[in-house]
Amino acid sequence: MLKGKHLLEPMDFSVEELDEIFDLAERIIEDPQKYKHVCDGKLLATLFFEPSTRTRLSFEAAMLRLGGQVLGFSEASSSSIAKGESIADTVRTVAAYADIIVMRHPKEGAPRIGSGFSDIPLVNAGDGGHQHPTQTLTDLLTIRYTKQSFNNLTIGVCGDLKFGRTVHSLIKAMSRYPGNRFCLISPEELVIPEYVRKEVLQKNNITFREVRRLEDAIADLDVLYMTRVQRERFFNEEDYIRLKDSYILDADKMKLAKEDMIVLHPLPRVNEIAVEVDQDSRALYFKQARYGMYVRMALMMKLLGADEGGVN
């Protein structure tokens, strides 16, 4: 039963609960019209303390397409946080106005703290360099559509594995399914955090290898997950400039990959995928963004206890 729950990190939901969300998302994709009033009268509050295009707009589009309405702010400076209000007080207040809260925050753990003060579902839309569970729902739905299974896949994650929260959440989520292997492709300075290596990969006996060159790994992969170097989390600009173009996926590198490898990217893309790759049928990142809206429709319906007949 997902009604009333918070979503703070990928492991908050069981594999069965995730399947319920994906099944519903697929039903919505088949016939979106059928769902246009199921959240009539419901209000989504988006509390974005950090910039976002896709995540905020896809949540807003999702709620509007379900018949609900949205309110919120997209930068901390336009909220009472600028006056020194605590997260606890902001969440408590907004929970009195809305039916569901989506929160993005630059500090790791902020949505978890907020959820302790919310009697309505609160969804983490990205907390610093930590986790981003609804991007993972998006990634998993895209994998399910194309690979028909979450098992026995060789998944390459490439780029900023240190600060990339989408990567941390994806590895956690995919570690639960049998037979998956990871190839971690990053510069030395941007390797995966110790807690992911120890508490997720090693603890679950997952096979993984760490490589520096994309060319050395791409031929083995079923899924290639590209990421941007997370400029906003660097302490100095020089390091960012040195590392920002570590990997550029182009048509030549795609020639080394399997015919059915898929390329995912949470977006925004900076330089890490050459525009020429967009024409390749294996490049799914824009389709992935669309799935993101549908999976958020399914997620919010579940958390609000709505089904095809409306909110129960």
**Identified binder of ligand NCD from the candidate list 10, 68, 126, 156, rule CB under 6 A:** 126
132 near ligand NCD (CB under 6 A)? yes
Q: Which residues pair with 37 in a beta bridge?
A: none
Q: Applying CB under 6 A, what is the total number of residues that bind ligand NCD?
A: 10
285-304 and 54-65 are packed helices; what angle lies between their axes, rounded to 10 degrees? Answer: 50
- Nearest approach in angstroms of CB 161 to ligand NCD is 12
Considering only residues 280-299, where is the footprint of ligand NCD by CB under 6 A? none
**Identified binder of ligand NCD from the candidate list 131, 135, 154, 180, rule CB under 6 A:** 135
- Nearest approach in angstroms of CB 58 to ligand NCD is 8
> Which residue lies nearer to ligand NCD by CB, 114 or 126?
126
> Which residue lies nearer to ligand NCD by CB, 91 or 267?
267
Residues near 185 by beta carbon (within 8 Å), at least 6 away in sequence? 156, 157, 158, 159, 161, 210, 211, 212, 213, 214, 217, 247
**Identified binder of ligand NCD from the candidate list 28, 170, 267, 311, rule CB under 6 A:** 267
165 near ligand NCD (CB under 6 A)? yes
> Which residue lies nearer to ligand NCD by CB, 175 or 230?
230
By three-state DSSP, how is residue 136 classified?
helix
Q: For residue 219, which amino acid is it?
A: A
- Nearest approach in angstroms of CB 59 to ligand NCD is 11
Taking a C-beta distance cutoff of 8 angstroms, is the pair 81, 47 a contact?
no
> Which residue lies nearer to ligand NCD by CB, 112 or 132?
132
Considering only residues 51-90, where is the footprint of ligand NCD by CB under 6 A? 54-55
Residues near 150 by beta carbon (within 8 Å), at least 6 away in sequence? 140, 143, 144, 174, 177, 180
How far is CA 29 from its chain centroid? 19
- Nearest approach in angstroms of CB 28 to ligand NCD is 20
Q: Strand 310-311 relative to strand 306-307: parallel, antiparallel, unpaired?
A: antiparallel
- Nearest approach in angstroms of CB 265 to ligand NCD is 8
Taking a C-beta distance cutoff of 8 angstroms, is the pair 182, 196 a contact?
no
Considering only residues 20-39, where is the footprint of ligand NCD by CB under 6 A? none
Considering only residues 190-229, where is the footprint of ligand NCD by CB under 6 A? 228
266 near ligand NCD (CB under 6 A)? yes
Taking a C-beta distance cutoff of 8 angstroms, is the pair 139, 225 a contact?
yes
- Nearest approach in angstroms of CB 298 to ligand NCD is 17
Residues near 74 by beta carbon (within 8 Å), at least 6 away in sequence? 46, 48, 51, 52, 56
Residues near 310 by beta carbon (within 8 Å), at least 6 away in sequence? 37, 38, 39, 40
**Contact residues for ligand NCD, defined by CB under 6 A:** 54-55, 126, 132, 135, 165-166, 228, 266-267
